[in-house]
Amino acid sequence: MLENTSNALVLGAGGAMGQALVRNFLDDGRIDQVVAISRGGAKIQHPRLHWIHIEYQETDMAAAVDSLAKFKGSFSKVCICHGILHNEKMFPEKRMEDISVEMMQTIFHANTVVPSLWLKLLRKLLAGTIDCKVACFSARVGSTGDNRLGGWYSYRASKAALNSLMKTFSIEYARRAKNIKLIAFHPGTVNSAMSKPFHGTVPEGKLFEPEYVATCLSQVMDEMSVDGQLSYVDYAAKPIAW
């Protein structure tokens, strides 16, 4: 590692936000090595980028974390990007009759279980002396207090559950890895495959490019101090009601 630099880790790096964050960190002179993990092969090639391809089974995830032992205590920024809202078989529920076990399980696994497994597995790798900010992609629709429109049962609940799990993680991290700050991050509406079916309803100027949101998140991470608390904020660093 170069003097006065640290490393960055992007999990779920193959999506729109993941790739934008990898590029942002590669362009950031304060970051030396970037490690990216995704289900697919490397989408970006760079001499300072180490891309790991896995499936999101706990044993594979644990092996990937073990393979990064030489980076122990050197990551200053970690982004956990996983999230699905729809796929070829499922669309967000408009009414209660649309709820299905298959959809709930699929969405909870990607949006809640996988990020929680990373938070479980990463503690030893991230613990150290340098400040380390860990952002999980949440969503404003995961806010119970802000739920005015209803619908999207599985996605909303998966992000609310992620927020709740992160709160519990933040309490244990504050005891067992005091250099780590957890952030539940809402990116706004991002121009990606996930938001594509809803672009028609986005107010003018409110469909953000992933590169813009990556810059916002990097700034949010820079500005937050390590305080043992979970912060739930949007791209403008504005707190969101739980």
Q: How far is the CB of 229 from ligand NAP (least distance, A)?
A: 21
21 near ligand NAP, judged by CB under 6 A: no
Tokens, residue 99: 């709820």
In this structure, the number of other CB atoms found within 10 A of the CB of residue 102 comes to 10
Q: What one-character DSSP code corresponds to residue 203?
A: P
Kindly state the smallest distance separating residue 112's Cβ from ligand NAP, in Å. Answer: 10
Among 40, 150, 197, 228, binds ligand NAP (CB under 6 A): 40
Question: What is d(CA 67, CA 32) in angstroms, rounded to the nearest whole number?
Answer: 18
94 vs 176 by CB, closer to ligand NAP: 94
**Which residue stretches of the chain are H helix?**
16-26, 58-66, 101-108, 114-126, 153-176, 210-223
CB-wise, 128 or 157, nearer to ligand NAP? Answer: 157
| Out of 8, 22, 61, 110, the residue judged to bind ligand NAP by CB under 6 A | 110
Q: Is 142 in the site for ligand NAP (CB under 6 A)?
A: no
Q: Is 128 in the site for ligand NAP (CB under 6 A)?
A: no
Residue burial 29-45, b: 16+ Cβ < 10 Å; e: rest: eebbbbbbbbeeebeee
**187: contact with ligand NAP by CB under 6 A:** yes
DSSP 8-state symbol, 239: B
The answer to the question of residue 39 lying near ligand NAP (CB under 6 A) is yes
Q: Which is nearer to ligand NAP, 87 or 130 (CB)?
A: 87
Phi first, then psi, for residue 122 (nearest 5°) are: -85, -15
Cβ partners under 8 Å of residue 67, min gap 6: 52
Q: Of residues 6, 83, 122, 156, which one binds ligand NAP by CB under 6 A?
A: 83
- Work out which of 6, 7, 8, 17 binds ligand NAP, going by CB under 6 A: 17
CB of 26 to ligand NAP, least distance (A): 16
Structure-block tokens of residue 74: 């050197």
Binding site for ligand NAP (CB under 6 A): 12-18, 38-40, 56, 81-84, 110, 114, 137, 139, 186-187, 189-190, 192-195
